[in-house]
Chain A
Amino acid sequence: MSETITGGCQCGQVRYAITGPLHNPHICHCRMCQKAFGNYFAALVGTSRENFRWSRRKPGVFRSSSIVSRYFCATCGTPLAFAYDESKNIAVAIGSLDNPAAVQPAQQYGIEAMLPAFASLHTLPGTRTEDDIKPEDLAKLKSLQHPDHD
């Protein structure tokens, strides 16, 4: 049996556990993934439904089309998963994993909706969070986000 992979939403109401292999790590630019993630694209990785379980509360569900359900935290709004009704697999949002750095996308889907700025995002100048927050604000800052573990 492989190691359990865990993840969940920002507030911690919804958590999940995966006890089998991950497959097909990808990013999807389709307009539905853009909308569901509020973002340029969604980063997703698949696993078998039989190796997947919601381990705390159940997520909210939105059927974005007649063949797909999308799962999210109804309390904090984090997008969590995507599944075709007739598929044995479910795909989870890579950013919702406790260790997102462990999964590297290998494919792009939905490129008909790719936004023009996408290919140059990585060229934008970057700063670290602590460099953008005033010292007095940093002193006040207390995270209310669920930690990256059960």
Chain B
Amino acid sequence: MCEDGDSNFELAIGTFDEPSKVGPLIEQVGVESRVSWFRDMHLLPEQTTDETRTPQDLAKLNSLQHPDHDTDHWP
């Protein structure tokens, strides 16, 4: 995202190859639209991806997502 006339440019953290290395986050903005469940979402019951897929689906699953590093050729 870039505001017109602003010399800065903002990147979506989830698009970094290593999003866990970005931060620490320092603030929230736009809180007038914050959803009511935001404060407690980290308390919801948890499952891993492997726990929620059938063994048949896991066997068929072939990721088509670009890996989290540069590649010489793609796809």
Contact = CB atoms under 8 A, between A and B. Distances in A.
Given A104-B37, A111-B47, A127 B42 contact: no
Measured as residues with beta carbon below 8 angstroms from the partner, the interface class of chain B is: 35 or more
A19 interface: no
Nearest to A129: B30
Nearest to B48: A112
B14 A34 contact: yes
A60 B4 CA distance: 27
Interface in B1-40: 12-15, 19-20, 23-40
Interface residues of A, number: 47
A89 interface: no
Interface string A44-78: 00000000000000000011111100000000000
A contact face: mostly helix, strand, loop, or mixed: mixed
A117 B23 contact: yes
Contacts of A63: 64
Contacts of A110: 47-49
18 contacts: A35-B14, A37-B14, A38-B15, A39-B13, A64-B64, A65-B62, A105-B37, A111-B47, A116-B20, A118-B42, A121-B42, A122-B42, A124-B27, A125-B27, A126-B28, A126-B34, A129-B29, A130-B32
A120 B30 CA distance: 17
Interface in A89-133: 94, 100-101, 104-113, 115-122, 124-130, 132
A40 B22 CA distance: 11
A32 interface: yes
A35 B46 CA distance: 20
Contacts of B46: 108-109, 111
Nearest to B51: A109
